């Protein structure tokens, strides 16, 4: 066996020597936009008082207008992060102590934590093993008289079953919010993700498809949701009288405002979004084709009527077919120079805040504010599909983003094949490490 055929983990040469590069989408357009803001001198157009400045600066409003036009919605509101936008969406729904909101256990914690900030509690439904979004059957099974809404997550760039979730929400008189941070411009049955729920959230933070460092957008067609979110964004408690607002529920605000420089960069990035997604889709399709005959590795499936925009490239992993434990396969791939990870995140409900049921203060608020706290269950085992994927059946790569090329996709496939072909040597090596 030559040195190039020997697995890198066992002393051979790595197959992939080109370093992975994260998305390079910042160009002269963004630089000129920031300089323009600096030249004009207004770095933030917001003031926490009634009037035009309550709604933000020129760049913020231009960004909002661009979202309203592209997604054909009545309102778009810019925030300093998608987390802030999620917080605003939760508050705008009027929920509070004693309420329940069903959400996904497999996503960044902000989705669930935004619910906690209102005093309501998240209830975790299981996910599907293909789209990795909320399983509608599990959602319906978790509805109780205290359920007020659903926070769905379009994860990795693929829509969840939004039509079914919308039907469930309407049938039970629940709101539906889409955390669309990972799926900008994805589509479900001819509609953009983010537009099917009562509100949709987009993200501009550093590793998203479109980026401005930090930043987020909330879109909605509901005037009341937009008003509530705007109040939360900008110290709403000091403007409600002057604005003639009688409904004070969840109007106390924070400073969740986007700066003019962030908005200027976000505007240029949003213009590039169709091209950036097209590049990812092309690379992902090439990688999917290359992985077609690799045993035990199943590339992402695109459901009928859906458009996947590949924020990441999820892969189902079958140890019985590969003949290798997942962690050993990933270790060997990483040694070959591949950008890869085992699993994604552990289920959110296994984090200490939910296991200990302590969030605000030492007495367990908001969990103790629920009328039946003993019914709130975050035990291991409540979402078996999510747990199985997290523990054994899922790997992830993010190489399908520019400036990577189709040749880089081919090298990833070759690395997979090299590791799979060396399973016997790997297994022996692992056995020696444990003795």
- For residue 176, the model assigns a pLDDT of 98
Select the more confidently predicted residue: 4 or 110: 110
Q: Which CATH number do you get for residue 236? A: 3.40.640.10
Same domain, 237 and 306: no
Who has greater pLDDT, 435 or 219? Answer: 219
- The domain boundary residue, chosen from 270, 285, 311: 270
| Residue 221 and residue 75 in contact, taking contact as beta carbons nearer than 8 Å | yes
Summary mean pLDDT of the chain: 96
Burial of 346 (0-12, 13-18, 19+ CB in 10 A): middle
Structural domain includes residue 231: yes
For residue 399, the enclosing domain spans 8-24+274-344+389-434
Whether 244 and 141 map to the same domain: the answer is yes
Number of structural domains (the chain) is: 2
Specify if 350 maps to a domain.
no
Please state at what angle helix 423-434 crosses helix 406-421, rounded to 10 degrees: 60
* pLDDT value for 3: 59
pLDDT at 429: 84
User: Does 299 share its domain with 175?
Assistant: no
pLDDT in tens, 118-172: 999 999 999 999 899 999 999 999 999 999 999 999 999 999 999 999 999 999 9
In a domain, 205, yes or no: yes
pLDDT tens column, 342-360: 999 999 999 999 999 999 9
Token pair belonging to 170:
């309407």
Domain-terminating residue out of 270, 287, 302:
270
Q: Do 44 and 88 belong together in one domain?
A: yes
Position 434 scores a pLDDT of 61
Q: Cβ(209)–Cβ(309) under 8 Å? A: yes
DSSP labels for 176-242? Answer: EEEE-TT-TT-EETTEETTSSSSEEEEE-BTTSSS-SBS-EEEEES-HHHHHHHHHHHBTGGGTTTT
> Residue 1 pLDDT more than 70?
no
Residues 122 and 224 in one domain: yes
pLDDT the model gives residue 2: 58
- Residue 265 scores a pLDDT above 60: yes
Say if CB 226 and CB 236 are below 8 A apart. Answer: no
**236 located within any domain:** yes
- Domain shared by 181 and 97, yes or no: yes
* Domain end among 237, 255, 270: 270
Same domain, 87 and 75: yes
Does one domain contain both 15 and 127?
no
- pLDDT at 190 > cutoff 80: yes
Domain identity same for 293 and 248: no
Residues 164 and 203 in one domain: yes
CATH number, domain containing residue 411 = 3.90.1150.10
Shared domain for 206 and 182, answered yes or no, is yes
Are 15 and 163 in the same domain?
no
- Rounded CA separation 317/376 (Å): 32
Do β-strands 306-307 and 313-317 pair in parallel, antiparallel, or remain unpaired? unpaired
């Amino acid at each position: 066996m030559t040195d190039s055929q020997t697995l890198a983990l066992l002393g051979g040469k790595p197959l992939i020597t080109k370093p992975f590069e994260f998305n390079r989408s910042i160009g002269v357009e963004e630089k000129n936009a920031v300089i323009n803001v600096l030249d004009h001198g207004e770095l933030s157009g917001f003031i926490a008082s009634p009037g035009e400045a309550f709604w933000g600066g020129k760049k913020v409003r231009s960004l909002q207008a661009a979202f309203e036009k592209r997604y054909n919605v009545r309102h778009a509101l810019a925030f300093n992060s998608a987390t802030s936008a999620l917080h605003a969406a939760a508050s705008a729904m009027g929920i509070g102590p004693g309420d329940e909101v069903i959400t996904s256990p497999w996503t960044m914690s902000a989705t669930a934590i935004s619910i906690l900030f209102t005093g309501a509690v998240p209830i975790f439904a299981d996910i599907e093993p293909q789209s990795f979004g909320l399983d509608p059957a599990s959602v319906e099974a978790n509805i109780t008289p205290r359920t007020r809404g659903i926070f769905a997550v379009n994860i990795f760039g693929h829509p969840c079953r939004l039509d079914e979730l919308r039907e469930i929400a309407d049938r039970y008189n629940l709101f539906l919010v889409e955390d669309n941070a990972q799926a900008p411009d994805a589509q479900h049955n001819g509609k953009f993700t983010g537009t099917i729920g009562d509100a949709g959230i987009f993200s501009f933070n550093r590793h998203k498809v479109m980026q401005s460092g930090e930043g987020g957008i909330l879109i909605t067609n509901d005037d009341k949701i937009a008003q509530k979110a705007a109040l939360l964004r900008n110290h709403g408690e000091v403007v409600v009288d002057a604005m003639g607002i009688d409904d004070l529920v969840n109007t106390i605000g924070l400073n969740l405002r986007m700066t003019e420089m962030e908005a200027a960069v976000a505007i240029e990035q949003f213009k590039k979004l169709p091209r950036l997604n097209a590049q990812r889709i092309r690379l992902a399709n090439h990688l999917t084709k290359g992985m077609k005959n690799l045993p035990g590795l199943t590339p992402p499936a695109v459901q009928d009527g859906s458009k996947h925009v590949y924020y990441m490239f999820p892969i189902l992993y079958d140890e019985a077919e590969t003949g290798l434990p997942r962690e050993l396969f990933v270790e060997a791939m990483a040694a070959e120079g591949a950008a890869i990870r085992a699993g994604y995140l552990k289920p959110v409900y296994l984090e200490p805040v939910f296991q200990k049921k302590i969030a605000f203060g030492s007495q367990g608020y908001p969990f103790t504010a629920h009328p039946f706290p003993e019914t709130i269950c975050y035990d291991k085992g409540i979402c078996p599909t999510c747990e199985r994927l997290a523990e054994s059946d899922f790997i992830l790569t993010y190489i399908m983003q520019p400036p990577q090329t189709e040749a880089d996709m081919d090298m990833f496939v070759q690395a997979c094949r090299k590791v799979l072909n060396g399973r016997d040597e790997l297994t022996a090596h692992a056995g020696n490490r444990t003795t």
